[in-house]
Amino acid sequence: MNLTERDKAHLWHPLTQHKLKPNHLPIVKAKGSSLYDNQGKEYIDGIASWYTCMYGHCNDSIISKIKVQLDVLDQVVFSGFTHKPAIELSEKLMAILPSNQNKLFFSDNGSTAVDVAIKMALQYFFNKKEKRTRIIALEDAFHGDTFGAMSVSGLSVYNGPFESFLLTIDRIKVPTKDNLKTVITNFKNLVDTGEIAAIIYEPLVQGANSMRMYDADLLDELLAIAKENNVIAIADEIMTGFGKTAKNFASEYMLHQPDIICMSKSLTAGIAPMALTSCTQKIYEAFCDDDITKGFFHGHTYSANPLACTAAIAGIDLLVSKEIQDRILEISTRHLDFETRIKNHKNVNATRCLGVIFALDLKVKMDRYGSLRDTLFNYFMEEGVFLRPLGNTIYILPPFVITNKELERIYEVIENALELV
């Protein structure tokens, strides 16, 4: 049997209705901005494999450091032990995180980073003997697939079968210039109950919600209210973190910084699964007590895996380098140029970009995983470009190392695809 047939024998893929899509394309190699299938065809990875491989696939610099670490320490329990890669990573991160962040808690992926944040916020008030048990989330957010993360998410296409099992969450609309007064009123009314422990949000870009973008100054108004009322602000930077918005973290666009930050995806440059939840010293101190039960009893077997930490250290070294910072600026500029040339196309409804993130909405109604969306996806793949439309939204979030020629090829294929609509 070939790889496709062997795959069908036992594997169950994410976000897939296997009755309708039984076949999956074998990818056998990746390098830089390219993926290669089992027939030798090359595809430009226009979304950095779900925003993870931001420094390119199989980056030589990162791999060489992991190989060295592999000969020294592969895995060790992080409860009761520590190790140099975790310590060095903490130091590297503190140099680029918002200045109010002071402690790091390891877990395995973006969803678990969110679960950790939710539990931190709720136990913070529990430890202080304050009855705050409610959390505010933005409508149509996506924060992950575990039960806590699903609870604060709002896209029913992912969570529908589980809604009766989730935490009760208060939701407010994403603030816009048109609805800001109403959103602020609703937010204040919830906060005034004295029962709100936290607000969780994706700063400036709701990724799974078709790369919806909103203004920093509007979010800042909500964060100011949260600060005034001791409501913990949780920034989900799993997608936006590590340079994608042209700042190390999207939270840097705001005056008011979060109390807790969730990180994963490109944290380890796409090489190993790992997540971090950072918090302020104030949050951490609520768990430090002679009473052992006030500790944070949450743990993952692979917390702070030395190989994943090494990948993250190498990734941060690249992120802050002049070469990568220059590429981020170049990609951002080229996105803006592409936006100018495409935004008035008869089949384009709206465009937006921030940093290396570009998105356009088509002037057509389309199911998120419907046939027209599949037609676009298949066309992109035929043309050697890997993009995953979110319904009628086509977006680009390429590796920082993508060449200008590769980027222009993505733009050309999208322009050509507009005629399919």
Partners of residue 35 on adjacent β-strands: 30, 43
Q: Is residue 265 part of a domain?
A: yes
Whether residues 310 and 266 share a domain: the answer is yes
Whether residues 124 and 184 share a domain: the answer is yes
Q: How many domains, in total, are found in the chain? A: 2
**Does pTM top 0.95 for this prediction?**
yes
Q: Which of these three, 264, 288, 319, is where a domain ends?
A: 319
Whether residues 245 and 301 share a domain: the answer is yes
First to last CA, the chain: 37
The pLDDT tens digits of the residues spanning 219-251 come to: 999 999 999 999 999 999 999 999 999 999 999
Whether residues 266 and 343 share a domain: the answer is no
Mean pLDDT for 239-267 is 98
Q: Is residue 382 part of a domain?
A: yes
The secondary structure of residue 252, as a DSSP letter, is G
> Regarding beta strands 103-107 and 275-279, do their DSSP bridges make them parallel or antiparallel, or are they unpaired?
antiparallel
Of the candidate ranges 97-106, 142-151, 156-165, 312-321, the one whose mean pLDDT is the lowest: 156-165
Q: Which of these three, 319, 334, 354, is where a domain ends?
A: 319
Q: Which of these three, 289, 319, 349, is where a domain ends?
A: 319
C-alpha Rg value of the chain to the nearest Å: 22
Whether residues 184 and 267 share a domain: the answer is yes
Amino acid identity of residue 22, one-letter, is P
Q: Cα 185 from chain centroid?
A: 29
DSSP string, 96-129: TS-TT--EEEEESSHHHHHHHHHHHHHHHHHHTT
Q: Is residue 138 part of a domain?
A: yes
Domain that holds residue 100: 73-319
Whether residues 192 and 227 share a domain: the answer is yes
Of 165, 242, 227, 239, whose CA–CA distance to 196 is shortest? Answer: 227
Q: Is residue 65 part of a domain?
A: no
Whether residues 181 and 246 share a domain: the answer is yes
> Regarding beta strands 260-263 and 275-279, do their DSSP bridges make them parallel or antiparallel, or are they unpaired?
antiparallel
Amino acid identity of residue 202, one-letter, is E
Q: Is residue 68 part of a domain?
A: no
- E strand or H helix at 417, and its extent? helix 404-418
Of the candidate ranges 14-18, 224-228, 324-328, 400-404, the one whose mean pLDDT is the lowest: 14-18
| pLDDT at residue 165, as a whole number | 85
- E strand or H helix at 276, and its extent? strand 275-279
Whether residues 179 and 311 share a domain: the answer is yes
- CA dihedral (385, 15, 355, 179) in degrees, to 10, reads 130
Q: Is residue 101 part of a domain?
A: yes
Q: Is residue 328 part of a domain?
A: yes
The pLDDT tens digits of the residues spanning 343-382 come to: 999 999 999 999 999 999 999 887 766 788 899 999 999 9
Whether residues 193 and 261 share a domain: the answer is yes
> Regarding beta strands 385-386 and 196-201, do their DSSP bridges make them parallel or antiparallel, or are they unpaired?
unpaired
| pLDDT at residue 225, as a whole number | 98
Mean pLDDT for 102-121 is 98
| pLDDT at residue 326, as a whole number | 98
| Distance in angstroms (rounded) separating the CA atoms of residues 239 and 139 | 17
In the numeric block, which tokens belong to residue 399? 């590796």
Whether residues 200 and 259 share a domain: the answer is yes
Instruction: Residue 404: count other Cβ atoms within 10 Å of its Cβ.
Output: 11
Whether residues 91 and 218 share a domain: the answer is yes
